[in-house]
Structure 1
Amino acid sequence: MCVFVQKAAVDRVLSAFRSICGEDCVSLGEAVREQHGKDESVHKCRPPDVVVFPRCVEEVSSLAKVCHDHNLPIIPFGTGTGLEGGVGAVKGGVCFSLRNMEQILDLHQEDFDVTVEPGVTRKTLNAYLRDTGLWFPVDPGADASLCGMAATSASGTNAVRYGTMRENVMNLEVVLSNGTVIHTAGKGRRPRKTSAGYNLTNLFVGSEGTLGIITKTTLRLYGIPESMVSAVCSFPSVQAAVDSTVQILQAGVPVARIEFLDDVMIDACNKFSSLSYPVTPTLFLEFHGSERSLEEQVATAEEITQSNEGSDFQWAQDAETRNRLWKARHDAWYAAQALRPGCKAYSTDVCVPLSRLPQIIVETKKDLLESRLTGPIAGHVGDGNFHCLMVVDPNDPDELHRVHLFTERLAR
């Protein structure tokens, strides 16, 4: 346990935890602690001192009060799919693993909203909604916890059409560090406006567990589109691909997804996912709507891409082909790592005005070459956001130093 807590106090704390949620829901086991001390990132495991598994908000509140009284750090844990090391217990403390809170509550089909607990993932929710004609579109790739997605203000490939978590969370139930339970928009409320009172909901969206533990989130839902069409298009340059993106958005085409992969990333995806796309800057696109509207969207997008020397336009309307295409995009993280077996991927995440995107990508690729680093690029190009996925040998101090200097320059 934390060095400043004496054994008698340790025993009292553990006894209090067990009285709240039961013997089986408190773990000191090394394997369990290590499982909860890391995510998918390059950062080394920083295990907590103890892991608790609350089953309801009342237990979360009571456990938080004990931690508050004994000045113990609290680390909320959802699915561990993060890429930034946010679950590492850098000062020890207590991990609140929320997987046992897995109920889907209060589905209001006519109002297009639903409330879920932290153990519910986005794929679980969409499977539950399948027969209702509704879906939740925010898709960061991983099958993440929806409350965790709220805590990290997750984005994803659909953000250009449907927004990020910030635009899709209507209310949150949050347990503060002292155990107080609050509802950011009022208990049981599902407002679509935030003009009355403080916008507390968006204070907690993106707070990454630093302001409280999210125990329920109320989400906007959408009607499942009548039809979906996906496409892949290759370009001779980054400039041509981004120019196409800007022009498609300016033309008012309601594109659902528009993703950019540079030549290094498309090569990695080809190898990892057994694809055969040209190894050049590439756009992945998707359109949602009625059959008639899709014909117009597709025709406009194809005309714009061709005017920017886009080629090898490949369309896919059947679900199996579309899913395979987007799985390849979502597997980019693992595809990048596979470029250098035994290495780890280190995520970067930057956003600039759309007009500046070609410049920063060109400068980034030049910096990578000069720094002798591997960093394939993929991005939610519709909003000027991209990830340079650094593939690094964690046992090479010189390479780690060069990566650190590079990411500093990239952010600046």
Structure 2
Amino acid sequence: MATFLLIIIYLAFISLGLPDSLLGAAWPVMQGDLGAPLETAGLLFMTIACGTIISSLISGRILKRYGTGKVTFVSVLMTAVALLGFHFAPSIVWLMVCAVPLGLGAGAVDTGLNDYVAVNYKARHMSWLHCFWGVGATLGPIIMAQFISGDSSSSWRNGYFLIAAIQFALVIILFFTLPLWKKVKVKRNDRLLEEIDELKDVINEKETNTKPLQTKGVKWALTTFFFYCGVEATVGLWGSSFLVNIKGISVATAAGWISFYYAGITVGRLITGFITYKVTNRTLIRWGQLIALSGAIILVLPLPSAFSFVGFIIVGLGLAPIFPCMLHETPTRFGKKHSQTIMGYQMAFAYTGTTFMPPLLGFMASQMTIGIFPIVIVIFAVAMLLSSEKLNIILGRKNAY
């Protein structure tokens, strides 16, 4: 029963990733069909991300009151309705309206399922959970590419309709599996013993009464999260527009290439789950940042278009281990006493980077050219690397490499 519910949770995380990559893949066609300026995609993306932040902040109380199963069911229903709204939306205004429930639903699903898996399943399942998000994010552009490859400028609507149909199918599955959420209680006694051991560790750590934000190195960790999500979200949203407008790639091919970027993240996280047995989190974070930076540099260089394809894949592979390894490293870096609070701050800064950095590039591109895209990605990646290395210096080398 627990295994069956875990499969449902993985399916829900695939559905969480599906719409995340759709807007960037479809925007080159949507822009012309709706007669919207380039930077409008950034505003839509910001609206979705703001909804995600809001729902994440209030989801704790909602989850305690209604339970993870019901909240997940309602949240996925909200995203399905929102995606269907994208299909029918006659103007940018209606897209903005539909973006609100899309973000609200996504944030609640993200928070609820992460918490449920952390409490009820072994730690390794958290790594696979984020891998399945990548599966959804990879499939999104692939599905959209099948529709926008046609001659119709409104073909993107059919892509959103299919994704909405997939979400509604998951809603039906979630409805009929609601009783499972209360029945699955995985190794509660073992979990209680683990929490007792963790409490002993906290007592033995001789931690001070320092507030979480005053803990040594926290601000640099938050900065790293901010720029990481700045890179990940900006590449996903504007990569396709860069390929179409600067490299002269067709919109369908560009969407397909971006799907390989998400595939790089997905495969990279799958591999990371195995090599964490031999390699430390800090080493994976550092090498991931260097690999992502090298991929961004390839995009900057005046090379044939095929190298852009390679560059996107390398960026995705580099980004893969950074986010989950940084989350997992939190208690080691800052102690268990404040780890939950600091984890919340890190997620907030991650969503903030997702919210503001892609629209910033959109605004800059509207004033200049989308050709600045790879340069901005390099700047974000360098800032992420420097912030992370500054954090390592502050914390010392005691748990490293």
Q: TM-score range by the shorter chain?
A: under 0.3
Larger radius of gyration: 1
Higher relative contact order (CA 8 A, sep 6+): 2
TM-score, normalised with respect to structure 2: 0.23
TM-score (norm 1): 0.23
Higher helix share: 2
